[in-house]
Chain A
Amino acid sequence: MRTWLPVLLFATVLPAQAAKLDLKVLYAGVADHPRTEQWRAFLAAHVAHVALTDVKAIADGSGTDADVVILDCPDPIVRKADGNPERIAVPSPKGLTAAFDRPTIVIAGMTLHTDHLQLKSNWL
């Protein structure tokens, strides 16, 4: 019983109340965008260490200090004055290839890049 108690306690608390995950996370997004601050605040509350960088700067060899890298961007749809879509503008980390070996979470619009890398996680 004594062995299980810490596990049960950990399992029943909300993330915000739980110990932080012992992870170093590199969030690569768009600087000064409100979405980046939202992700930073969320991650800082739940993981041991968070660093930020420009997603366009991510390249093979980046994030060697991170346990996990997150690739993210704001809504990439560029709209015309009438609100209709004009084009898609996803930031491009040109130096990131399929040889990139860090654990990576690719969020929403950044899938355009894994599509270019011909991964199964493509842009259908």
Chain B
Amino acid sequence: MCLYEEAHGVDASHPIFQGPFPVTPTWHDMPTPAHYKNLDPSLGPTLRAWRVHRDKLPERSYVGVVADGFGFLDSPDAEWIASGRNSKNARAAALARHGNFFHWGFAAAPPELTDEAQRVFLNTLAYMKRFAGQRPLAIGETRSREWLPAMIAGDQPLADYVKNQLPPSWLAAAGDDRQALRALAAAELGFLHREGTRWQVDADCKRLGLDNRTPTALRRCVELQANGGDDAKAAQAVLERYTGERFTTAAEWQRWLADAGDRLFHSDVVGRFRVAPKDLVPPHRAKTD
């Protein structure tokens, strides 16, 4: 229980702000909570915020809930719309969608919602109607690798729970040197693979230079497999590891990739690629400048 009165990081281009009741959010500057900077030291002194509760929450009142925002967008069944002032971090999700489930983390009952928030809630009702039958695709309990750079971003001593998440090869090479760990994260994040309860560097991906989150890596593996030679065996292993398929020829892999097309996605939650169904309602993504 950790979400308070106001949202920040709001994607106001999302349909729930567009209608049927258009909302132009009234913004204010919110002091950046000090603990946010533990995971993101680049944050400024204030965040642009949007009030959801009319009044400041009294002590011991019903506070809301945030979801883990790291990795939220790694599957096309999910939308991250806003965070809100909370006790976790700036990426935590206060408004978000996963499949046919919409996370409205704020605890306010209608009389406690601002007029703008009431409108957004009504818009959310209208928006969600289209997701009948659109079940979540990326289900699981694995946390995204996006946590790792955040956990080593600050200057505090590395806690044991952080060390337990980092790949052993990083700790062996860099120890507690955060700068060296950050360099390794920048170079090797795309090579990571979850084994049991921790992340490991996938030696095949590292050697072949394959970011195992991108469909491009799979296509490169098919090329390597077709070429034969020393890399073909590793490429076949990577294809099997990250797709769950067991094709043996390049032609079969090519056919599968062609059929999957742009429906192919990788999620750390499931630890490999999956193919989205053809009737998936495309997710909204915030426009970036």
Identify the A interface with B (CB < 8 A): 10-11, 14-15, 18, 21, 23, 25, 35, 38-39, 41-42, 46-47, 67-68, 74-77, 79, 83, 88, 98-109, 111-112, 114, 117-124
Residues of chain B within 8 A (CB-CB) of A46 are 122
Instruction: Pick from A76, A109, A119 the residue with the most CB of B within 10 Å.
Output: A119
Main secondary structure of the interface of B (DSSP, over half): loop
Instruction: Enumerate chain A residues within 8 angstroms of B115, measured Cβ to Cβ.
Output: 14
Q: Which residue of A lies closest to B74 (CB)?
A: A120
Interface stretch among B30-38, B136-144, B235-243?
A: B136-144
Residues of A within 8 A of B72 (CB): 120
A-B contact pairs, 29 of them (CB 8 A): A11-B22, A15-B119, A21-B20, A23-B125, A23-B126, A42-B111, A68-B129, A75-B61, A98-B136, A100-B100, A101-B134, A101-B135, A105-B102, A105-B125, A106-B101, A108-B3, A108-B106, A112-B65, A119-B99, A119-B136, A119-B139, A120-B269, A121-B93, A121-B97, A121-B102, A123-B65, A123-B67, A124-B68, A124-B92
In the bound complex, do residue A120 and residue B132 qualify as a contact, i.e. CB atoms below 8 Å apart? no
Q: Which residues does chain B contribute within 8 Å of A11, judged by CB atoms? A: 19, 21-22
Residue B107 contacts which of A83, A106, A109 (CB distance < 8 angstroms)? A109
Report the separation of the CA atoms of residues A76 and B71 in the bound assembly, to the nearest whole angstrom: 28
Q: Does B128 contact A103, Cβ atoms closer than 8 Å?
A: yes
User: What residues of chain B lie closer than 8 Å to A111, measured between beta carbons?
Assistant: 65, 67, 103, 105
Does B114 interact with chain A (Cβ within 8 Å)? no
Do B67 and A25 touch (CB < 8 A)?
A: no
How many whole Å from B124's CB to the nearest CB in chain A?
6
Measured in the bound complex, the distance between the Cα atoms of B131 and A100 in whole Å is 12
Residues of A near B75 (CB, < 8 A) are: 120
Interface size grouping (class) on chain B: 35 or more
Q: Of all chain B residues, which has the CB nearest A79?
A: B60
Chain A residues positioned under 8 Å from B126 (CB to CB): 21, 23
Closest chain B CB from A80 CB (angstroms): 11
Contacts of B20 in A (CB 8 A): 10, 18, 21
**Interface-centre pick from B61, B88, B96, B136 (highest chain A CB count, 10 A):** B136
C-alpha gap A38/B20 in the complex (Å): 22
Residues of A within 8 A of B110 (CB): 38-39, 41-42
Q: How far is the CB of B87 from chain A (nearest CB, A)?
A: 9
A104 x B101 contact (CB < 8 A): yes
Q: A47 to chain B: which residues have CB within 8 Å?
A: 122, 125
Report if A120-B122 is in contact (Cβ < 8 Å); known contacts: A106-B101, A108-B62: no
Contact A118/B132 with A42-B118, A108-B64, A108-B104 known, Cβ cut-off 8 Å = no
Report yes or no: B129 in contact with A103, Cβ–Cβ below 8 A: yes
Q: Which of B19, B67, B106 contacts A124 (CB 8 A)?
A: B67
Asked if B196 lies at the interface with its beta carbon under 8 angstroms from chain A, I say no
Asked if B201 is an interface residue, CB under 8 A from chain A, the answer is: no
A46 and B102 CA atoms in complex are apart in Å by 19
